[in-house]
């Protein structure tokens, strides 16, 4: 249900507002987030967590790309990094 709603919102102004809402939620204290989460039915809460996990997994590539650029700027090649990691 949550995935269907999010897909419908993909290009809408509501998506922008929802993103701002999530960003604001992230700025709240952990106590406040937990308190609000207790008001959400457990199946919905599980679905929200699942959707966030999916987004995190899909965005890992962004972080890898940033790390690769940073390493390249420092003159470290992917092969050098791999050799170092294999030593560990």
pLDDT value for 2: 67
Name every residue whose Cβ is closer than 8 Å to that of residue 47 and which is 6 or more positions away in sequence.
Answer: 1, 2, 3
Per-residue pLDDT of the chain (88 residues), as tens digits, is 666 666 666 667 777 788 888 899 999 999 999 999 999 999 999 999 999 999 999 899 889 889 989 999 999 998 898 899 999 7
- Domain ranges, ordered by start, for the chain: 1-39, 41-88
pLDDT at 9: 60
Residue 8 has what pLDDT? Answer: 64
pLDDT at 78: 86
- Residue 19: the pLDDT is 84
pTM of the model: 0.61
What does the alpha-carbon distance between residue 13 and residue 83 come to, in Å, rounded to a whole number?
47
Residue 75 token pair: 């003159």
């Amino acid at each position: 249900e949550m995935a269907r709603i999010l897909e419908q919102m993909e290009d809408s102004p509501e998506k922008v507002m929802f993103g701002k809402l999530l960003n604001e939620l992230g700025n709240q204290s952990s106590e406040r987030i937990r308190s609000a989460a207790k008001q959400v039915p457990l199946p919905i809460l599980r679905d929200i967590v699942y959707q966030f996990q999916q987004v995190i997994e899909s965005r890992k590539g962004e972080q890898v790309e940033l790390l690769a650029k940073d390493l390249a700027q420092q003159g470290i090649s992917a092969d050098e990094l791999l050799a170092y990691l294999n030593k560990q």
